[in-house]
Amino acid sequence: MQLKVFVTGGAGYVGSHCVRGLCDAGHEVTVYDNLSAGYRAAVDHRTTFVLGDLADRPRLDATLAEGKFDAAMHFAAHIDVNESVRDPLKYYRNNVGNTVSLLESLRDHGVKRMVFSSTCATYGVPDAVPITEDMSKNPINPYGRTKLAIEWALEDSAGAWGLGATALRYFNASGAAADGSIGEAHKPESHLIPLTLQVALGQREDIKIFGLDYPTPDGTCVRDYVHVEDLASVHRIAIESQEEGRFRFYNVGTGLGVSVKQLIEAVREVTGHDIPAEPAPRRAGDPPELYADPTKVMSELGWQPKYPDIRKTVETAWNWHRTHPNGYDAAE
Ligand code: UDP
């Protein structure tokens, strides 16, 4: 079954890897991206690329009218938690408002299958770890709240007009394509793995550890680093198996918790660099421990991560950063 898939945010980090996975599986992909945070060079050449903004409703409608798509994947969103606290309406406008426009347009053009980029931030500080889908969702920042609001819009749309949608609540997206051709590049960079690799590249002096007094085994925060190619495979499986009228939601992580200290140690092993690390105050809004119970996505979708081991994930990230020390800039 070949699908015509409309992908918003397909030039971003997770989106570009998922687009590639769709193309490899023989699907026909149109990427719709305003390049505000993504890169043209990250977009697979087998796609049709539309430089478009979700806020530009006539352009969105025209693209959907022309494309006659079977399905959509929606990655386009603002993702900076700190910024979302400072400027919440920017997040509600773009993440929620523009998703409502997208849903209206999908409905009007008869597209009734989609996969949505959700997040473990919808749980806030979880009741317990590992996190299962039935735990209470109390997001602690506007970013997480916008993603949860979108999940509600999807669920309500499933009941009202037959949308079939899957919300994939991912944990920490990490790593890069195994062949080193695409990888992670944020402007500005705020994520632990790329920042630590920048130390190995000599681009920064040290990595700051945000908090050493958490109630965790070594005092540093614990996260679940899920490989971006494993995210690509779960998106592909979800879109291929999506039925109309049904809303599904899954936690997507490896199920393994890795502390900040353990992550830095893995980077030392992979790069051979001693990676100076300095204690720093806690970052506001960081829950101590977040890792998934991926049982539901594994049993219902048959998904298996190829990268359960943080070291292998870091190896792919290092391969990308080493060969692209300035991200996509040289390629732009
Ligand atoms: N972190 C850190 N130093 C940094 C960046 C991040 O100690 O320079 C910590 C952060 O507090 C969190 C973990 O690393 O516990 C992962 O942070 P990241 O921003 O990569 O992802 P998040 O978990 O916020 O989605």
What would the two tokens of residue 297 be? 């996505």
pLDDT over 90 (residue 329): no
Q: Has residue 49 got a pLDDT over 80?
A: yes
Catalytic residue among 32, 143, 225, 328: 143
Write down the pLDDT at residue 134: 97
For 32, the token pair is 């719709």
Distance CA(148)–CA(134), nearest Å, equals: 14
**Rounded to whole angstroms, what are the CA distances from 103 to 178, 243, 328?**
34, 16, 31
Residue that the structure tokens 């690329």 belong to: 49
Tell me what pLDDT residue 1 has.
87
Compute, in angstroms, the gap from residue 191 CA to the centroid of ligand 1: 6
At 79, list the tokens: 């993702």
Say how many Å lie between the CA of residue 282 and the centre of ligand 1: 10
| Atom 22 of ligand 1: nearest residue by CA position | 172
Mean local confidence (pLDDT), 90-97: 98
Is the predicted pLDDT of residue 139 greater than 80, yes or no?
yes
pLDDT of 68 reads: 97
Ligand 1 near 29 CB (within 6 A): no
- Render pLDDT for 56-73 as a digit per residue (tens, 0 to 9): 999 999 999 999 999 999
φ/ψ of 263, rounded to 5, equals -65, -45
**Model pLDDT, residue 186:** 87
Domain topology for 4-174+225-252: Rossmann fold (3.40.50)
Q: State the pLDDT confidence band at 331, using cuts at 50, 70 and 90.
A: very low
Of 8, 10, 13, residue with least CA distance to 172: 13
Report pLDDT digits (tens) over 182-207: 999 988 899 999 999 999 999 999 99
On the question of pLDDT at 129 being above 70, the answer is yes
Over range 129-156, report the average pLDDT.
97
Of the pLDDT bands very low, low, confident and very high (cuts 50, 70, 90), residue 330 is: low
CA 171 and chain centroid, separation: 8
User: What residues contact residue 60 under an 8 Å CB cut-off, 6+ apart?
Assistant: 32, 52, 54, 101, 102, 105
Please report the atom of ligand 1 found closest to the CA of residue 290.
Answer: 23
Percent of the chain past pLDDT 70, that is, above it, reads 99
| CA distances, 135 to each of 41, 99, 170, 230, 247 (Å) | 39, 25, 15, 24, 17
Q: Does residue 332 have a pLDDT over 50? A: no
283 lines ligand 1 (CB under 6 A): yes
Cβ 85 vs Cβ 142: under 8 Å: yes
Give me the residue spans of the domains in the chain.
4-174+225-252
State both tokens at 24.
């490899």
Rounded-to-integer distance, Cα 332 and Cα 35, Å: 12
Whether 32 sits among the annotated catalytic residues: the reply is: no
Residue 260 Cα: closest atom of ligand 1: 14
Q: 3-state SS of the chain?
A: CCCEEEEECCCCHHHHHHHHHHHHCCCEEEEEECCCCCCHHHCCCCCEEEECCCCCHHHHHHHHHHHCCCEEEECCCCCCHHHHHHCHHHHHHHHHHHHHHHHHHHHHCCCCEEEEEEEHHHCECCCCCCECCCCCCECCCHHHHHHHHHHHHHHHHHHHHCCEEEEEEECEEECCCCCCCCCCCCCCCCCHHHHHHHHHCCCCCCEEEECCCCCCCCCCCEECEEEHHHHHHHHHHHHHHCCCCCEEEEEECCCCCEEHHHHHHHHHHHHCCCCCEEEECCCCCCCCECCECCHHHHHHHCCCCCCCCHHHHHHHHHHHHHHCCCCCHHHC
Q: Is the CB of 191 under 6 A from ligand 1?
A: yes
First to last CA, the chain: 34
Each residue's pLDDT tens digit, 31-43: 999 999 999 999 9
Contact 292, 251 (CB under 8 A): yes
Nearest to 189 by CA among 79, 86, 35: 79
Structure tokens at 319: 């391969």
pLDDT, average across residues 169-177: 98
* Cα 149-153-155 angle, rounded to 5 deg: 115
